[in-house]
Each structure stands twice: as C-alpha cells, then as structure tokens.
Amino acid sequence: MYLHLGSDVVILKKNIVGIFDLDTATISKHTKNYLALAEKEGRVVTVSYELPKSFVVSMENGRAAVYISQLSSQTLLKRFASKLS
C-alpha cells in the first residue's frame, strides 16, 4: 500500500519510519541537526512549495529519505491508518 504525501508524491507504507509535525519536532536541536544533515546530503524531497507542515522519514534502498509535506501530520497519520489507501 502507498501513502499519498501531497502533489504527485506517493511512498510505500512499509518504508515509512515516522511521520512528524514540523512545528513540534523542530523544537529539538537534534531534529534540526538531522534535517540540516539530510538536506546537505541531498536526501530531502520537497513535496510542495506551499507552507510545510510535516515531514516523513522513509527508508529507501538502505538510506533514509526525508519528505517535506504541506499536509499536516494528523492528515498523513489518518491516511496511513486507512485500510483503503
């Protein structure tokens, strides 16, 4: 099954490590450092250029990829839990 992250981006549900709220997760300096490193290494995919609200960490080909989405983490979690997705 797939999870639609917005725009034309979908990822396999089984590859998802976590879905995070951008406002609350980036309070931690560790999260900020992780996102900065992922950006530097070219592992960040911006789903949309609208105001980002969440990010999804996914393991793809043995590497973590970070997807920045305009959808809220609650919306993505509902989609993730849905059996119809």
CA gap 35, 9 in Å, rounded = 19
pTM of the model: 0.93
In this structure, are strands 16-21 and 9-12 parallel, antiparallel, or unpaired?
unpaired
Could you tell me if 13 and 2 are in contact, meaning their C-beta atoms sit under 8 angstroms apart?
Answer: yes
Question: What pLDDT sits at residue 54?
Answer: 98
Domain residue spans in the chain?
2-81
- Mean pLDDT of each 10-residue bin along the chain, 85 residues long: 94 97 95 97 96 97 96 96 70
End-to-end distance of the chain based on CA atoms, in angstroms?
6
The count of other CB atoms within 10 Å of the CB of residue 47 is 21
Could you tell me if 73 and 19 are in contact, meaning their C-beta atoms sit under 8 angstroms apart?
Answer: yes
